Amino acid sequence: MPRILIVGGGYAGFYTARKLEKYLGKNEAEVTMVDPLPYMTYQPFLPEVAVGSIEPRHAVVSHRRHLRRTEIITGRVSDVSHKDKKVTIEVPGLAPFDREYDYVVVTAGAVSRTFPIPGVAEFAIGMKTIEEAVEVRHRILTNFDKAANLPEGPERARLMSYVVIGGGFAGIEAFAEMLSLATYLLRYYPTLKFEEINFHLVEAMGRIMPEVSLKTSHWVLKNLANRNAKVHLDTQLLSAHNGVVELSNGQKFESDTIVWTAGVMANPVAKHTDLPSDERGRILANPALQVVDGDTPIEGAWTAGDVAAVPDLTGDGVAGYCVPNAQHAVRQGKLMAKNLVAAIRGEGLKNYFHKNMGAVAGLGIGVGVFQYRNFAVTGFLAWLMHRGYHGLAMPMWERKIRVFGGWVANFVLRRDVVSINAIKEPRLAFETWASRPKS
Ligand SMILES: Cc1cc2nc3c(=O)[nH]c(=O)nc-3n(C[C@H](O)[C@H](O)[C@H](O)COP(=O)(O)OP(=O)(O)OC[C@H]3O[C@@H](n4cnc5c(N)ncnc54)[C@H](O)[C@@H]3O)c2cc1C
């Protein structure tokens, strides 16, 4: 039986495996998926996880539960040697081992892209994983608890200052959601005042959200300004050393929470393969999702999603390639499965073609924007569209129901403001009181 090995079980990898289970006949091929995480993450929900509108577990999809015919290896691929048709896999507690394949599908996604700015690597946090989103929520709630006990002064101001770097879609959503939570929390903290909350968004370009029209982006800027947030356009972060934020517009202040959302880059695992990549580190693909050397497909090598440079045949792409987003990754994953099955059966391959469906963003409870070409919706209706679209786009009905159920529960019971931050030291209580042998 041909062996298919999928590197990465996010959007593109998960959908490839799921559709292969559907299309492949019994004993037609063996499918293995390798991912260091046992779940795929629905990343558009991260801003809502970061403010408690969605439970962290509800925003991820278990590989083992939903891929019953796929062999799952919870480990990290460290190397792909396509000339030998084998990958090297690292699993905690075991020596690295090799796994041979006939077809490799590289869908390892992207990672946060940073610049060598002092303090960023040590102090900032991304918004790319569920763990980061959970930490941001813990941080906001814990900082409010700490600040409420302090007299007004620099330490209280530091705890109440929040900075997001990057005014793209993910950054603005995270920023606006965090602002919405912080404003809501004030009702439980009578000693803290609205004017004390300092929210700064730093964007190097002259505008935010390039995915929407300029007019819509201005609407968002006005909405944020009305909510007491400061957006610094044409401004760069110069330093974040020890949480002291220095901006290129001369402003300097301290913050305990700096969220970095200024772009992504192809997963560096692409460099640990012998597959051709472009100057941005993306593996080169043709529209049928085969890895290519020039125009020639490399037999048995396939790629999709954020790690891949897939030509955008609609003409809407950036420099001719699909932009890194979930719309593409999901559809490429589905096509990948069809094309793999066709390749195994010796049938013809289909090209990837997807016209952008527009963009929808949630900006805190009751506020959103939707943009499709020149048509825009802003405010409450757009927020409903955001929740409706993403709630239904979440893979698997059992997950959709959990997400919608959580929203309904929050609507009826109000926002949940509990933070179990002590989970970071789960043994502390036990260890403190544990009896020890007399020395
Ligand atoms: C905050 C946020 C909001 C977003 N909102 C939207 C939105 O509204 N609409 C939209 O279209 N897109 C959105 N996106 C983008 C979208 O989530 C990504 O484009 C999409 O996840 C890409 O899918 P992928 O399969 O390529 O990568 P991913 O979904 O990131 O999956 C990659 C997988 O590879 C695994 N992996 C990594 N390294 C290895 C390794 N060495 N070996 C094995 N496995 C590995 C990872 O653990 C992961 O499971 C958003 C992203 C973020 C961060």
Q: How many angstroms is it from 79 CA to the middle of ligand 1?
A: 20
Residue 426 has pLDDT above 90, yes or no: yes
User: pLDDT tens-digit profile of 178-216?
Assistant: 999 999 999 999 999 999 999 999 999 999 999 999 999
Instruction: For ligand 1, say whether the CB of 74 is within 6 Å of any of its atoms.
Output: no
- The atom number, within ligand 1, closest to the CA of 42 reads 17
Best mutation site among 35, 130, 269 for ligand 1 pocket (most ligand atoms within 8 Å of CB): 35
Residues in the chain: 439
- Residue of minimum CA distance from atom 24 in ligand 1: 109
Q: What is the mean pLDDT of the chain?
A: 97
For residue 402, give the H/E element and its range: helix 397-413
Q: Is the pLDDT of residue 231 over 90?
A: yes
The answer to whether the beta carbons of residues 355 and 34 sit under 8 Å apart is no
* Ligand 1 proximity of 306 Cβ (cutoff 6 Å): yes
CB 7 near ligand 1, within 6 Å: yes
Q: Does residue 268 have a pLDDT over 90?
A: yes
pLDDT of residue 120: 97
Q: Specify whether the CB–CB gap between 312 and 322 falls below 8 A.
A: yes
For the chain, helix, strand, coil in percent to 5 are 40, 25, 35
Looking at residue 419, what is its pLDDT?
Answer: 86
pLDDT in tens, 49-106: 999 999 999 999 999 999 999 999 999 999 999 999 999 999 999 999 999 999 999 9
- Give the mean pLDDT of 260-288: 97
Q: Is 243 close to ligand 1, i.e. is its CB under 6 Å away?
A: no
Q: Compute the distance between CA of residue 41 and CA of residue 176 in angstroms, rounded to an integer.
A: 21
Q: Measured from the CA of 13, which atom of ligand 1 is nearest?
A: 25
How many Å lie between the centroid of ligand 1 and the Cα of residue 40?
8
Q: How far is the CA of 270 from the centre of ligand 1 (A)?
A: 15
The H or E element spanning position 164 is strand 161-165
Structural element, H or E, at residue 105: strand 103-106
Nearest to 65 by CA among 367, 402, 373: 402
Query: How many helices (H) and strands (E) in the chain?
Result: 12, 26
Residues 6+ apart with CB under 8 A from 362: 47, 48, 173, 176, 177, 368, 383, 386, 387, 390
Question: For residue 281, is pLDDT > 90?
Answer: yes
Chain-centroid distance of CA 244 in Å reads 26
Element (H, E) at 22: helix 11-23
Structure tokens at 307: 């790690």
In this predicted structure, what is the pLDDT of residue 122? 96
Specify the pLDDT at position 99. Answer: 98
Question: Cα dist. 433→370, 423, 424, 429 in Å?
Answer: 54, 17, 18, 7
List the domain boundaries for the chain.
3-36+75-111+264-345, 120-262+358-413
- Say yes or no to pLDDT of 352 above 90: yes
Q: Which atom of ligand 1 is nearest to the CA of 40?
A: 49
Same fold, 3-36+75-111+264-345 and 120-262+358-413: yes
- pLDDT confidence tier of residue 398, bands split at 50, 70 and 90: very high
| DSSP character string of 274-332 | SS-B-TTSPEEB-TTSEEEETTEEEEEEEE-GGGEE-B-TTS-SBTTB--SSHHHHHHH
CA–centroid distance, residue 59 to ligand 1 (Å): 13
CA of 336 to the centre of ligand 1 (A): 16
Q: pLDDT class for 439, splitting at 50, 70, 90?
A: confident
Q: Is residue 141 within 8 Å of residue 46, measured between CB atoms? A: no
Of the CATH numbers 3.50.50.100, 3.40.50.2000, 3.40.30.10, 1.10.3720.10, which one belongs to the domain with range 120-262+358-413? 3.50.50.100
Ligand 1 atom index nearest CA of 305: 26
36 lines ligand 1 (CB under 6 A): yes
Percent of the chain, pLDDT > 70? 100
| Tens of pLDDT, residues 354-373 | 998 899 999 999 999 999 99
- Establish how many alpha carbons lie within 13 A of residue 54's alpha carbon, considering only the half-sphere containing its beta carbon: 30
> What spacing in Å lies between the alpha carbon of 109 and ligand 1's midpoint?
5
- In this predicted structure, the answer to whether residue 333 has a pLDDT above a threshold of 90 is yes
Q: How far is CA 42 from CA 175, 329, 341, in A?
A: 18, 12, 26
Tokens in use for 369?
């924007």
Q: What is the mean pLDDT of residues 313-324?
A: 94
Q: Are 319 and 346 in contact (CB under 8 A)?
A: no
CA 226 to chain centre: 28
What is the Å distance from ligand 1's center to 413 Cα?
32
Q: Give the domain 3-36+75-111+264-345 fold.
A: FAD/NAD(P)-binding domain (3.50.50)
Q: Is the CB of 87 under 6 A from ligand 1?
A: no
| DSSP conformation letters of 316-356 | -SBTTB--SSHHHHHHHHHHHHHHHHHHHHT----------
Mean pLDDT of the 99-116 span:
98
